[in-house]
Amino acid sequence: MRYPQGGGRTAERQQFREELRLQAADWFARVEASSVIAKDLRVSVRSVQRWRQTWSEDGPRALRSQGPTSLPRLSQKQFTQLEAELAKGPSAHGWEDQRWTLERVKTVIGRRFHLTYTIQGVRKLLVRNGWSCQVPARRAMERVDDAVAGWVKEVWPCAEGSRRPVEPGSSSRMKPASP
């Protein structure tokens, strides 16, 4: 993950970017070229142009930081409550099997907190709070190892297909029929 809390910049990085914009504002007042400002501040010319337009429309105060770009929609207290709900298991929430999917977690968040998340938003929320994709720790009791071994030997090779080309290949980059 690039940023803490799943998005935006750190407070230090926001402060640094604000200082750059305010330095640029001083140069705007001196009617300096955008390319010169961009080179000296080590930012893109397009960023300087956007800052200049904002500065000319609303003044230097408009270049100040507007605060965090995004905040987690679930507070830490709410996420703790969500973890308690997830610990109860999917059957406590009406599903027959014991698998948590992102879609199911999304449904629980909607029911419990009346918030709408996307599937990717749920994934980012869980990863941000230390959750990860899991695989079962044990094999299913219903598994028959002999049947699995037979399937791997007989069915899988047919399904996988041959890796060798059907026709003889050529090392030439030219098509065989080309003049």
- Give tens-digit pLDDT for 117-145: 889 889 988 988 888 877 667 777 888 88
Q: Using 50, 70 and 90 to split pLDDT, how confident is the model at 179? A: low
> 108-117, long-range: CB within 8 Å, 24+ apart, which pairs?
108/82, 109/74, 109/82, 112/81, 112/82, 112/85, 113/74, 113/78, 113/81, 113/82, 115/73, 115/74, 117/73
- Give tens-digit pLDDT for 45-58: 999 999 999 999 99
- Which pLDDT belongs to residue 1? 36
Q: Using 50, 70 and 90 to split pLDDT, how confident is the model at 8? A: low
Q: Tell me the whole-structure pTM to 2 decimals.
A: 0.43
- Which pLDDT belongs to residue 5? 47
Structure tokens at 178: 């080309």
- Which pLDDT belongs to residue 12? 82
- DSSP string across 3-68: SGGGSS--HHHHHHHHHHHHHHHHHHHTT--HHHHHHHHTS-HHHHHHHHHHHHHH-GGGGS--S-
Whether the pLDDT of residue 175 is over 80: the answer is no
Helix (H, G, I), strand (E, B) or coil at 110: helix
- Give tens-digit pLDDT for 77-97: 999 999 999 999 999 999 888
